[in-house]
Every structure is written in structure tokens, then in C-alpha cells.
A and B are shown apart, each in its own frame.
Chain A
Amino acid sequence: METTELLKKVRKIEIKTRGLSSQVFSGEYHSVFKGKGMAFSEVREYQYGDDIRSIDWNVTARFNNPFVKIFEEERELTVMLLVDISSSADFGTTGQTKRDLITELAAVLSFSAIQNNDKVGLILFSDKIEMFIPPKKGKKHILRIIRELLNFEPQNTGTSIRTGLEYFMSVIKKRSISFLLSDFIDRDYENALKIASRKHDMIGIRIYDKRETTIPSVGLFQVKDAETGRMQWIDTSSSAYRNALENWWKESEHYMNEVFSKRGVDFVKIQNGEDYVKPLMHLFKKRAKRR
């Protein structure tokens, strides 16, 4: 991708997602992802309407005027984006690929994070770690993350969520809020998720395409596995194939539900081409309620 084109794209995503994060998600994000506690920042003169409980009596006595203590929430949160960029993400039937959606989501979350003065880091993984961007603050950093998400070409094609999680555990020692963005066409990450969720606030975001759940009867065609390159002719007119896909999808959803619910890890499913604001809001509200 050419640089100018890339920058244009980055800009486009920025405009689209920053609006979302500052308007739609600002409050939600802020309240859902809280820091450890409150830290005293300063005292100022009492104004009408201030909570009388926050009056600092020592200072009031000294100045003979009412003063209140101002606390600030201790944020300095670290937000980690664990993004699966295996080849299976290069699939989409609604004009955009799953990877486009992932990029957009990552951008929304990143902008939400910097608005709250949080640090954002990125791990791109396939079946190995493709890239690690350590958590940092700043808009420039976010734009870099978006650029990488847009432009990065993974070396490997496979998926190993386990590898991603293990690496994440090894590099991020401090507690963080971690979004795991993947299509979750993978198994065997149960244990890694369990360990990660103990230390970090994990949130799974499953991106899927409608055509991964069902296919219409459109005749014969040859399909190629994006990850393994395996070729196969499938006959969509035959219900055997269609049922196989539907069953596989149900089964995979079931597995994911099982794994995440058992660990108490929140997760949300977002279909490619559908509005992602609603599911995200839903997720945030759910978390807010729980608190």
C-alpha cells in the first residue's frame, strides 16, 4: 500500500472511529474501565454545590475559608489489543473483510483509550507473534497502531490464540485491559485464556462473517482454505455440505461460549458488515452493571 493512500485510510478510520469513541463510547468506556482507586490531586475553594463531605477541614481551619479536596481517578490503564491477523481474517462477503472490521474496532478502542489517557499496546499474532507494539500514550501512537493494522502483512497464515496469549502474558506484567480480537477459528486456547484472565481484564471480540455460518445453495465451487491452502470442491446444492457448515458453526460457537463463560470472561460477537456499536455498548453496559 502506498504511503499516501495508507495515510488517507488511517485518516478515514480516525475520523470515523474518533467520533464514535468521543461521543458514543466516552462515558461508557470511562466508567467501565476504571483504575485502581482515587488519588488526591489538589484542594480548591468550596463552591456552592460541592459535596460537604469532601471539605478538607484542616485547610479550611488554616485559611478560615471552606476548601474541598479534589480527587482524581488513578487511571494510567494499559489497554492491550491482541489482534489475530491470520489469513482467515482476509475473508468477507459484505464489501469489507473481517480484517477491515478488526482494524476499525481496534481503532475505536484505541481512541477511546487515549481519550481516557490510557496506554495502548498491540500484539499481532498468527500462529506466531507477528508484531508487538508496547503500550504507549498519544495520538501519534494510535495512528501508528492503525497503520500497522492496515498495512501489516503477516508471515504466517495459521492461527494460534494460545501463542498470542502466552506471549502477551510474558511481555505485559502489569494488569491490563486486553481485547482479544479474532475470528476464533481455533481451539486449544482454553488454558492460556484461563491464566490470562486471572491477571488481566480479558474481553473477547469475535468477528465473523455471515457466510461462515451458512451458505446458500449456489452450486459447485472450489474453496481454498485461507490458512492451510487446502483446496476442496464443495457442492452447496447438497444439504450435506450446508449442514456440515451450520453444524460446525454451532459447534464452534458452543465451544467459545463454554470457554469464555467458564472463565467469566466477557465476549461479544460482531458480524462483519453489521453495526458494531450496539454489541460494544451492550458489552460495556453489561460490565457496568456488574460493577
Chain B
Amino acid sequence: MSGKKRLEIEMNWFTDIQFASRWYFWMFLIFIPLIVWYIWGRKIHNPDLKISTTQPFAAVMPSARVWLRHSTFILRLLALTAFIIALARPQSTRSGQDITIEGIDIVMAMDISGSMLAEDFKPNRLESAKQVASEFIDGRPEDRIGLVIFSGESFTQCPLTTDHAFIKNLFPEIKSGMIDDGTSIGMGLSNAVNRLRNSEAKSKVIILLTDGVNNMGSIAPLTAAEIAKLFGIRVYTIGVGKEGTAPYPFQTPFGVRYDQIEVKIDEALLKEISDLTGGQYFRATSENSLREIYREIDMMEKSKINITEFRKPTEEFLPFAILGLLILLLDLALRFTVFKSLP
């Protein structure tokens, strides 16, 4: 997956606002004559109604409205403040970082053949592969990840998605024996390639995990690798299994029996696939080494992160102008309704 992500530092209105036309703040000086005028001039110029006597009203407690009539003036000052601020060209110079992350698309092709139940890994190969893959997914939040499983046939468990939680939720459901037994590396690989075919990501990766020898399927692994190469997909291959023999469980009428079965991994094939596509072959002999391998892949397939420091001054006058206008409207509305005054 390719995408730009802008990690912006939360804008702080008090520190990140800068004013391009600072000198407009001198206009605040106009407040002094305005206020003086309001206080003094009101006495002199405010129209009053001469009535015979104000005796009747002398004892009346001033109603709230009488006091609040000043609020229209204050509102006008506020509107003026907003306009002056707008004039001063407030700019939010977000000194953020423009982080361009080019995520990559990864399809994990996982062998779930019966041999994956061998318990040379704890609790067995499949479970531990699932565990490590899950951790791997956690470490790559920017990438789209898909999941293909294969044994005798291949099956897309999950197409490419950024919803990693969903993929991880699928892991427990993956069991050996879901599909015909066998090991069809070619089918798994080609299915994974198919998933990546339409991807527009710069970097397309398949992580092929298997523990056996290709013995089924209608597509030869190398053919699949050729196709992968054609699409510019790198294939990392992982062979899982101890050197020598591994305990393999058998269901018998008397319970589970373990047989030591020789581990046969077609390392040459896997190596060829990876070499052909520009990937790499790994051999995991224990859970830790598997984890190590995934880490290594993680390192190699680092998402491209471009961090550009940017200072993008955005003009922020609009909210102030609108605020000022709204206050002015409010003032107007109030003056003609609540604080309507005569004459």
C-alpha cells in the first residue's frame, strides 16, 4: 500500500499561531478612544427622553436588561477584536512533520499441511508460525497484508487489507486439514501472486512459509515464481522444521502417538524461488529463529518513510472573520430585539 500520511502535531492555538501582519495590532489602540467615547460620550450624546419626572422609577431596581445593555457595546468590541485579528493575518505555521510512508503489500502464504502439526516447534509449527506472523503484522501498521493458506490446494484466507485486527482474528480459525492435505507450494505461491497482481504498491512481498516438498498442485513452484517476478513481487521463503527428525503426532485408536519423522524441506527449490524474485530464503529451526527471520524481513522490507519538516503557513483569518461577523450579527439582532432602545 502506498499512501501519504501527515503526522501533524496537534496545533496549539496559542503557540503555533503567528501573525503575518502584526502591525495591525496597533489598531487595538482604537479601543481607548472607543471606550472613552462610550463612557463619556454616552453621557453627552446619548439620546434621552425628557420626561416630567423620573420619580416613579427612582426606586425600581434596575432590571437585568438595563445592565446588560452594555453587552451590545462589548459585543461590538469583540467583533472588532476578531476583525483586527483577522486583519493581522493569523497563520498557523504548523511546524509539523510531513511523513510520507509508503506502505508495502505483503501476502503471507502459509503452509497448513498436516506436517505443520509436527511438534518440533512449541506447541507445533502451525501455531508458532501463526503466533510469529501475528507479531509481524503488529509491527507493520502501515502495510496492507493478505493471507493465503495452502496445503494440497490453496485458498485465500484474507485479501490484502489494512484491517490487521481482522487478519489476526482469522488466525485461530486456521487449522491443518481445512483443505486437502499435501503441499502445493506452486498453488500457494500463485494464489498469493494473484492477490498482489493488481496492487499498486511500490513494494510487493510474499512471505512463503512451508515445511515440505512440493508434491501436489497444478502449477509448478518455479512457474509461480516466474509469474511473481513478472509482477515485480519479492518472495521470501521460510522453511520451517528442525534439522533431522521431528516428532509428528498420529491419531491411533489408542491415543496420540508420536513418530519421529525426517524433516524434508525442499530448500533448493525455496532458495531458487527467492533468488529468482529477489527475495531471500530462511531456515527456521526453532520458534526463536522464526521470530528472528520475521524480524529480518521486517527490517529488509522497511516501509519507506520520508520525514519532511515543513512549516506550512495556513491563513487562519476565516474563522476570525466569521466569528467577527457572527458577533456583529448577534449584536445587531440583540439591539433590535432584546436591547431595543428608544429613541
Contacts and interface: CB of A to CB of B under 8 A. Distances in A.
Contact of A219 (B47, B58, B340): B340
Contacts of A45: none
Contacts of A211: 51
B266 to A, nearest CB: 95
Contacts of B48: 221-224, 231
Contacts of B341: 219-222
A226 interface: yes
Contacts of B58: 232
Contacts of B342: 218-221
B52 A185 contact: yes
A241 B60 CA distance: 7
A245 B49 contact: no
Interface in A190-249: 209, 211-212, 218-228, 230-235, 237-238, 240-241, 244-245, 247-249
Interface string A78-90: 0000000001111
Contacts of B55: 185, 225, 248
A69 to B, nearest CB: 55
Nearest to B61: A240
B65 A220 contact: yes
A233 B69 contact: yes
* Interface residues on chain A, size class: 35 or more
A238 B63 CA distance: 7
Nearest to A233: B66
Contacts of B57: 223, 232, 234, 241, 244-245
Contacts of A237: 65
Contacts, number: 97
B62 interface: yes
Contact of A223 (B51, B61, B69, B339): B51
Nearest to A247: B56
Nearest to B336: A219
Nearest to B69: A220
A244 B59 CA distance: 8
Given A220-B341, A221-B342, A234-B66, A185 B49 contact: no
A250 B147 CA distance: 94
A222 B66 CA distance: 10
A225 B52 CA distance: 6
A223 B48 CA distance: 5
Contact of A88 (B46, B53, B63, B69): B53
A226 B341 CA distance: 20
Q: Which 4 A-B pairs have the closest CB atoms?
A: A248-B56, A219-B340, A88-B52, A221-B342
29 contacts: A88-B52, A89-B52, A91-B51, A98-B52, A185-B55, A212-B51, A219-B339, A219-B341, A220-B66, A220-B69, A220-B341, A221-B49, A221-B341, A224-B48, A224-B54, A225-B53, A226-B51, A226-B53, A227-B53, A230-B54, A231-B43, A232-B57, A233-B69, A234-B60, A234-B66, A235-B65, A235-B66, A240-B61, A245-B57
Interface of A: 87-91, 98, 183, 185, 209, 211-212, 218-228, 230-235, 237-238, 240-241, 244-245, 247-249
Interface of B: 43, 46-63, 65-66, 69, 339-343
